[in-house]
Structure 1
Amino acid sequence: MAYVIKNGILNDNSNPVRQIRSRNTGGAFPAPPGIVVIHFTAGGSAASSANWFASRENTNSSAHVVVDRDGSIIQCVNFNEVAWHAGKSSWRGLAGLNKHSIGIEIANWGALRGGANGWYNAAGQKVDNVVMAVHRNGNPDGSRTPIGWEAYPAAQFEAVVALVRALREVYPIAEIVGHDDIAPVRKSDPGPAFDMVRFRQRALGGRDQNGANVGVVRSPGGLNLRSGPGTNFAVVQLLADGSKVMPMGVNGSWIEVTTLDAAGKPSKTGWVHSHYLDLD
């Protein structure tokens, strides 16, 4: 699929995608947005979320688009206008991400509830497409053991990749973050079922395929290098933001790396969470 954006409207095969417009906008962006924020809806269909954004009962939330499980997209706010998706938020010195970012909502239930025969969404329906994981900031129920999260179908993932690629043709998009990055205490979306490392690689692209296999730490507060793939393992070293590492292996959301010194020579080996590692 290949999308094109014309005058702030997303087009598929020269036709605008389905529009369910929300009145909840902040007017024109003060400057072209350079960040994409990924959310999950914590609900059912994309249409149900888009209809809520358009409802007169809803006076304080919206997003630019909602992407359904089959990859279909509904646009709710013109890309040239501010949408109310981020709430109280901050990232790399910016406060209030609404005026700096484009918000993409993905139809997904997020954290599920365990039952006798499996995992269930907030509507009480059993969900079969489940990823067992622990949110890096702690699960919404306060636990730190694996729970069920609804998986993101391949068609949906690929649609969001194509969307961000189209956005980059028009806007200076340089970063992709989750709602749980910019509001980590309040929010858990898009959650551990969303492979953010792979998504960034696919959506941002531009990697030198002939270059060295090197990753860069992206964490303003530093990133713990641990002795094993999990927060229960001891911290070997605190890696500074911008540190370069060589990926060695993968275990779930954790990547085994060897740190590189200033001369690019291997130093210590350990494990880091993939969310904070840029492999582009």
Structure 2
Amino acid sequence: MKISRHKLGRDHAAHETITKTSGRFTQGLPDTIVIHYTAGSTLESALSTFKDPDVRASAHVVVDKDGSLTQLVPFDHIAWHAGQSAFRDRTGLNRFSIGIELVNAGRLEKNGSAWSSWFGRNYPQEQVVQAVHRNEKEPTYWERFTPEQIDAVFNLCSLLKKAYNIKHILGHEEISPGRKIDPGPAFPLDKLRDRLLHADRSDQDEQRIRKPARGMVRASALNIRTGPSAKTMTIAHPLSKNTELDILDQQDGWLQVKVQITGWVSGRFVEKLPG
């Protein structure tokens, strides 16, 4: 698979032209990929929505359930996929990012022996994942992404990383928490990010923490969260000072720890113990 003049080769992707863009990226951009799901059942419904002139939304690529790709916007143009969004010191992530949409219904509701989407389609158990969303506390139901979709997104992100010096791979749920929930826990976002962006660092961390290390809380109170970010939700009462804990993993200055529950805390407030 190749990118030529900011488009995927026609032997690896179909192309649909839409004009819903905000012009070209500024120099040095894009440097971010944002992963979404379409909240629909078919590629055709997604393309119809994006091509509708009355819908102020677009994306660079849509990934169908069989792993096939359809490109809508060249990679050097700004698409309208992120909406109101923020990450670190940036707002309006459209100006910095490539948007990838996967055909997927998203959250489902239990309906007798099946699970229903918001648009009324039923899904059998083998197409359903029960998991806790990174911004929530209770497990809910989600349509499973196909292996072909996941492989296609991994390969596409790898290609984009080489072509555009991608530094961040984010979910819509991470840049618009409380407003968006895609791609949700059925998509292996953390695995994708670690494999493509943090391979060297992850190997080093694995060597440093091959078995659980011990630590002790040094702050008067320390929040424990669902993920390695202050934007993720707390999942228990704060840990009190001098609480001992197991350190399971580390990421971007955060530690995954285990007390009676497992969650993430800021590494600035934990002293690692010897042994």
Task: Please give the range of the TM-score, normalised by the shorter of the 2 chains.
Answer: 0.7 to 0.9
What is the letter of the counterpart of residue 107 of structure 2? A
User: Structure 1 residue 127: deviation in Å?
Assistant: 1.2
Structure 2 match to 1:107: 103
For each residue in 1:173-218, what CA deviation from the matched residue of structure 2 results, as whole angstroms up to 9, or x when unmatched?
Answer: 1111111111112111011111221111233354267634168x84
Q: Equivalents in 2 of 1:153, 1:86: separation in Å?
A: 23
Does residue 239 of structure 2 align to residue 236 of structure 1?
yes
| Distance verdict in 2 for CA 1:159–1:16, change over 3 Å | closer
Check the 8 A contact 2:62/2:102 in 1, yes or no. yes
Deviation at 1:135, TM superposition (A): 2.3
Matched, 1:57 2:54: yes
Aligned mate of 2:196, from 191, 203, 206: 203
Report the counterpart of residue 179 of structure 1 in structure 2: 172
Q: 1:169 to 1:241 in 2, by over 3 A?
A: closer
Q: Which runs of 5+ in 2 are unaligned?
A: 210-226, 242-246
Tell me the residue number matched to 1:130. Answer: 128
Distance 1:121 1:223 in 2: 25
Is the 8 Å Cα contact of residues 165 and 204 (structure 1) preserved in structure 2? no
Q: What SS does structure 1 have at the residue aligned with 2:2? A: strand
**1:45 alignment counterpart:** 42
Corresponding residue for 2:17? 21
Q: Is the CA contact (8 Å cut-off) linking 1:258 and 1:266 kept in structure 2?
A: no
Match of 2:154 in 1: 161
Residue pair 1:19, 1:76 contacting (<8 A) in 2 also:
yes
Give 1:228's aligned residue.
none
Match of 2:71 among 56, 69, 75: 75
CA distance in 2, matches of 1:258, 1:125: 39
Taking the TM superposition and a 5 Å limit, the aligned residue runs for 1:91-106 are 91-106=87-102
Counterpart of 1:273 in structure 2 is: none
Shift in alpha-carbon separation, 1:75–1:246, aligned structure 2, 3 A:
same
Report deviation, 1:172. 1.8
Contact 1:8 1:79 in 2 (8 A): yes
Closer/same/farther in 2, CA of residues 247 and 187 from structure 1, 3 Å limit: same
Percent identity (aligned): 34
Distance in 1, matches of 2:85 and 2:202, equals: 35
Q: How many angstroms apart in 2 are the aligned matches of 1:27 and 1:187?
A: 25
Which secondary structure does the structure 2 equivalent of 1:124 belong to?
Answer: coil
Instruction: Tell me the number of residue pairs that the alignment of Structure 1 and Structure 2 aligns.
Output: 244
CA contact (8 A) 1:133 1:147 kept: yes
Q: Is this contact kept in 2: 1:222–1:241, CA < 8 A?
A: no
TM-score normalised according to structure 1 size: 0.75
- Find the aligned partners of 2:232 and 2:118 in 1 and give their Cα distance: 35
Q: Residues of 1 paired with 2:185 and 2:202: CA distance?
A: 27
- 1:110-121 superposed matches below 5 A: 110-121=106-117
For residues 241 and 202 of structure 1, the distance between their equivalents in structure 2, rounded to whole angstroms, comes to 13
Q: Are residues 208 and 103 of structure 1, via their aligned partners in 2, closer, same or farther at CA, if it must alter by over 3 Å?
A: same
- 2:8 equivalent in structure 1: 10
Larger displacement relative to structure 2 (193-202 or 97-106) = 193-202
Q: Secondary structure at the match of 1:201?
A: helix
Unpaired segments of 5 or more residues in structure 1?
A: 139-143, 225-230, 249-253, 268-280
CA deviation digits over 1:120-174, x for unaligned, max 9? 1233222121111232324xxxxx5322111111111110000000101110211
- CA–CA distance in structure 1, aligned partners of residues 38 and 181 of structure 2: 11
Q: Do residues 191 (structure 1) and 184 (structure 2) align?
A: yes
Change in CA separation of 1:69 and 1:266 when aligned onto 2, cut-off 3 Å:
farther
> Residues 86 and 103 of structure 1 are in contact (CA less than 8 Å); yes or no, is this contact kept in structure 2?
yes
CA distance, structure 1, for counterparts of residue 270 and residue 239 of structure 2: 21
Name the TM-score, length of structure 2 as normaliser.
0.77
Q: 3-state DSSP class of the match of 1:33?
A: coil
